Structure 1
Amino acid sequence: MSPSQKEISEVLLKKRLQIIWGPPGSGKTYFLALFTTRYLSTFTDTNKRYVIGVTAFAKDAIANLLERISFTRNYYKHYDKFTIFSMIENVKRDGIEVCEEEDLSKKIAECTNGSIVIGDEGSQLLVSDAILAIECLNPKTGKLIVAGDHMQLGPIIKNSYPTFHSDHPLIFGSIQQCLMRREDRSIIHEENLKEQKYDFGPLTTQLKENWQMNEELNGFFQKIYGRNYISRNPNLKLALDDQKLSQLEDLRIRRILSPESAIKIETDVVEKIISSYFESLKAEENQKLFIIAPYQITIKKNHMKNI
């Protein structure tokens, strides 16, 4: 485990409620699978039953987490340590038993020792949906873990809700934002997220390693998630054979795949799209365009052209 993964694991064992803030590339789902596998594999008393329930905002997200748990269990050869049940039929990995809702409810009800509910993609999981899983927890010993990234797209709310006072729990949004609290337990409203910067109270801990991006790409995300969000693979790049790359007949494909020219190609494409957009406007239209890009060269080049 990485330093922040170890730190969060220790916190999860001590607390009954914890929010895991996982930025893009931090491996939220992998960490949840790893924690689940190690947690359930530590119990050797076969007379006691421990249950970990997982949920998310969509079936695909649940299936993805279950499949990752199955993979992790097999990787560490803990086949006989615990059983994985699913109410979703289209899980794609062996070792996951499909179970009817009624049967699964009975298995959970039989658990009197300890139970955990994990909500993945918690920033998109509505409170009203999460409650269905939370109700399965043992009220005396149960634990709730919510993992997500409140900086990303939240749940789509179609209804109109009444206006409450500022201290009212945010029960009409995501379960993650509903549970986030400051040190004094006050609510963190959406308009105050920027003010909080990277400290979202004692209930929230952050995964601080980016496993999917190199140093250059991660630099963009550090502006959002803080300088402590480091790249675990700073020199990560495409594993291309230069000789084979040079033999590709299509020059455009060769240039796009080339690490040295990829950024320039992307910048040129963005420039052409923007130019074509303005050239296609009606004569009387006077519109502005807001450009968001991870590379300064893209912004500067288009800014210099007064586009």
Structure 2
Amino acid sequence: MAVPALATPLNQLPKGPVLARAIARGELVVGVRRYPRPAPPGSPTPPEPDAFDATLARELAASLGVKAVLVGLAPNERDEALRDGRVDLLVAGVPTQGQGARTDEGGAGIDAAPGSYDTGRGQVVALRRGRVQDEEALRGASVCVGEGSGYAGAVALRYGAQPRNYPSAVHAASAFMAGECAALAEDAQVLERLMGNEEWRFYKPVAQDLRAPADAAVRLAAGDTASRDYIAAALRRWRADGTLAQARGARAGNLQFEITLLKDGLVCHS
């Protein structure tokens, strides 16, 4: 299928102060999610950048002809890092304040480029013989979700469920398998792969076709319209040229591998 052409090539679009400074220094500094990968008990690994966030960060940097510098940030560090100039952009999923409703703002002094950098559909799974057997039973039920996931807002708004945030999708799956939540909400592409694993035969889908009520937006300092519009155009290309589909497939494969490690005795360290 032919890829729709962008109205104006990216390299011909104007860049505002944020992106102009990145070009001048030769690097785009991007704040991303981070989490430790599964490791043996008592041997935690240091947190590493989220691979999906990192892929988009590198694509944006490459479009500017500069290298990407990734800065892993905890949720409570991100807005401040953007406001004080430690990072040029934030690529970190759905902001916590945006998980309950659609929003174009990431907080005071912070703007968001229009559009979402992740466009998947979600699914909810639960124990085959657990108390959650259908959508109606999700009301008031605890649902494990990874930090920055738009499905937290989806299960709360659509079903009246109680989302519980964990540092990553892997941590959320680990908590669900340990019985900390009645259900798990994640991208359908990820869960469909996991459901093919022998150890997931005890679970079943109870809700389908979840749509995040807020965008996984690229955020930047407010007031830079040219940079915001450039990023919006870059996101349109990210979605249209197959790069997003490839990144989503890679994410599903990585998560399947990391979650499968849990059955081998590895654990998720905080």
TM-score range, shorter chain: under 0.3
TM-score normalised by the chain length of structure 1: 0.25
The structure with the larger Rg is: 1
Q: Which has the higher strand share?
A: 2
TM-score normalised by the chain length of structure 2: 0.27
